Structures are given as C-alpha cells and as structure tokens.
Amino acid sequence: MKNFVALIAVLFTYGLFAQQFGYIDYNRLLEMEGMAKKLSQELEKQEKSILDDEQKARTEIEAEMNKFKDATSKLSDKARAEQGAKLSAKINELEQQFTKRRADLNKKRLEISQSLEKQNLPIVENLAKEKKFIAVFNSQSLVFASDNMIDIT
C-alpha cells in the first residue's frame, strides 16, 4: 500500500511538473505599451515631484530646527515649549501630507496596473491556451520561478 501511495505521488508530481507554467511581468508590459508608458512616465514625474518637495521641506525644517536650537538659551521655558510644539506639529503635518501624496500615487499605480491586467487578460488567456499552459502567474506574486517557467510578457 505504501508503495502504491508513493507511486501515485511520484506520478502526480511528474505529471504536474511536466505541465508548462508561464508568468507575465505587468511592470515590464507597462513600460512597453504606448499609453501605459505615458501613464508610467507621468507617475514617475509625480514621484520625483514628491521627492523634490520632501527634500525642500526637510531643508526648511532643518533650518527652523537650527534656528530654534540657537534661540533656546534665550527663550523662557514656556516660549521654548510653545515653539518646540509648533515645530513638532509642523513636522507631523508635513509627514502626513507626504504620506497621503505617496498613498495617492500608489493607488494610481495600482489602478493602472489593474486596468492593464484587465485589458490584457484575453490576450494572456489565448496565448496560454495556444501554448497549452496549465497556469499563468503575475510575476509580482511569484516567490520563485524556475528556468522551466516561461515569461510571456
């Protein structure tokens, strides 16, 4: 009985691995398609804008912090606490602002990716049937892909 179960396991494993699997890299597809490429470039431009704005804000905050440090010895405890609280509130506000901007950008990126997947699903399905793939995976979901797995991007 043990030998029979082992034989079934070996046959199942061999049969499963004899099948072809494919994957598609939607990020690379995004770079290749005309309209998608344009959208991707716009997202990159927005991301650069966020990075530039963050750097500018960081520089301004550092200048304010240095100014505050220089003035702390001349300030009363109450004034020091008030200015410290204002500076801290400004930093928190900026962090929230940039976190929201990044979240909005990531949401746009996801929407574009999902739209691209939806548009290309019939093409992927037809190609998978034509090549007799047992399954096609999104490369972003893969942990490992052997050399036997075919990139159909």
CA distance 143 to 68: 49
Given this model, what pLDDT does residue 7 score? 41
For 47-70, what is each residue's pLDDT tens digit? 999 999 999 999 999 999 999 888
Task: Kindly state the percentage of the chain with pLDDT values over 70.
Answer: 77
* 134/142: higher pLDDT: 134
Overall average pLDDT of the 83-92 stretch: 93
Q: Evaluate whether 43 touches 109 at the Cβ level (below 8 Å).
A: yes
Residue 43 CA to residue 38 CA, distance in Å, equals: 9
C-alpha 150/C-alpha 130 separation (Å) is 14
Q: Say whether 119 sits in a helix, a strand or coil.
A: helix
pLDDT at 47: 94
Whole-Å CA distances, 106 to 2, 61, 64: 52, 26, 31
Give tens-digit pLDDT for 10-58. Answer: 444 545 555 677 777 777 776 677 777 788 788 899 999 999 999 999 9
